[in-house]
Amino acid sequence: MNIHAIGAIYRFEMARTGRTLLQSVVSPVLSTSLYFIVFGSAIGSHMNAIDGVTYGAFIVPGLIMLALLTQSITNAAFGIYFPRFVGTIYEVLSAPVSFVEITLGYVGAAATKSIVLGLIILATSTLFVPVQVLHPVWMVGFLVLTAVTFSLFGFIIGIWADGFEKLQMIPLLIVTPLTFLGGSFYSIDMLPPFWRSVTLFNPVVYLISGFRWSFFGVSDVNIALSLGMTLAFLVACLVAVWWIFKTGYRLKS
C-alpha cells in the first residue's frame, strides 16, 4: 500500500477545501440556516408534531442529508474532474499507485469534507431548534456511510463527465430532486398511498429514514432495510470504480 500517495492526494484535496472555504463550507451552512429559518421557525411553528417530534427538529436529519449528498457528490466529482480537465491527471496515472489508493485519497477527502460539513450543520441546527440524538453511534455510522457512498458516486460522475455541464447535471437534476422528494421535509406517511409506494423506489428515502431514526427513533421504513439499501448502493459504486480503473474508461486510451 502506497500510504504516502494516499496521504499526498488526501492533503492536496483538503488543501483545496481550505482555499475555497467560502464555497465549501460557508455557503452550504448559510443555505441550511435559511432552511431552518424558513421551514423550521417560520412555517414549522404552524405545523403539527410528526411522530411526537416538532417539525423544526424533524427536518434536521433531512437537511443534513441534503447537504451531505450534494456536497459529497460535488466535492468528489470536482476533485477528480478538475485534474482531468487541466491535464494534471497524467501525474496520478503515471504514479506507482493502485486504483484503490487513488480512490481512497480522493473519496476519503471528499467524504471527510462532507462529514465535517454535516457536523457543522448539526451544530448550527441546535441554534434554531432543540435536537436530540437517540443513537449517536448509528448517527455517525449513517453519516460516514452516506458520505463515503455518495463521494464514490461523485467520483464516478467526475470520471464520466466530459464537460462542466455534465458535472453539474446529475447532482442538480437527479440527486437534489430525489432528496427533496425523499422525505427531507416530511414523513412519507403524510403522502397518499399511491405516492407513498412510488416514493419507496427513491433510494434517498432509505438514507433519510435511517438517519432520522438515529436521531428520534422513528423511521418511515425499517432500519435494516435502510442500512441494506445504503450498503447495496455502496457496493454498486465500488464495482463501478473497479470497472473504470480496470478498463481505463475515460482515463486511459
- Decide: 59 and 40 in contact? Cβ < 8 Å: yes
d(CA 7, CA 106): 10
Nearer to another protein, 99 or 195 (CB): 99
CA 124 from chain centre, in angstroms, equals 18
Tell the smallest beta-carbon distance from residue 90 to another protein (Å).
6
Which CB atom, from 48 or from 94, has the smaller least distance to another protein? 94
CB of 82 to another protein, least distance (A): 9
- 185-192 long-range Cβ contacts below 8 angstroms, 24+ apart: 185/39, 185/59, 185/62, 186/50, 187/50, 187/51, 187/58, 187/220, 188/220, 189/220, 190/50
Sorted by sequence, the CB contacts under 8 Å of residue 140 that are 6+ apart come out as none
Judged by beta carbon, residue 14 or residue 191, the one nearer another protein is 14
Alpha-helix residue ranges (DSSP H) falling in 126-192: 136-160, 164-170, 176-180
Which is closer to another protein, CB of 163 or CB of 248? 248
Cα–Cα dist 126/136, whole Å: 15
In whole angstroms, how close is the CB of 160 to another protein at the nearest point? 17
Nearer to another protein among residue 98 and residue 197 (C-beta): 98
Residue whose CB is less far from another protein, 93 or 140: 93
Minimum gap (Å) between residue 106 Cβ and another protein: 12
**Residues 69/150, Cβ–Cβ less than 8 Å:** yes
Please name which of 146, 183, 198 lies closest in space to residue 51, comparing C-alpha atoms.
Answer: 183
Residues that bind another protein in the complex, under the rule CB under 8 A: 2, 4-5, 7-9, 11-12, 15-16, 19, 83, 86-88, 90-98, 248, 252-253
Least separation, in Å, of the C-beta of 147 and another protein? Answer: 24
Q: Smallest gap, in angstroms, from Cβ of residue 19 to another protein?
A: 6
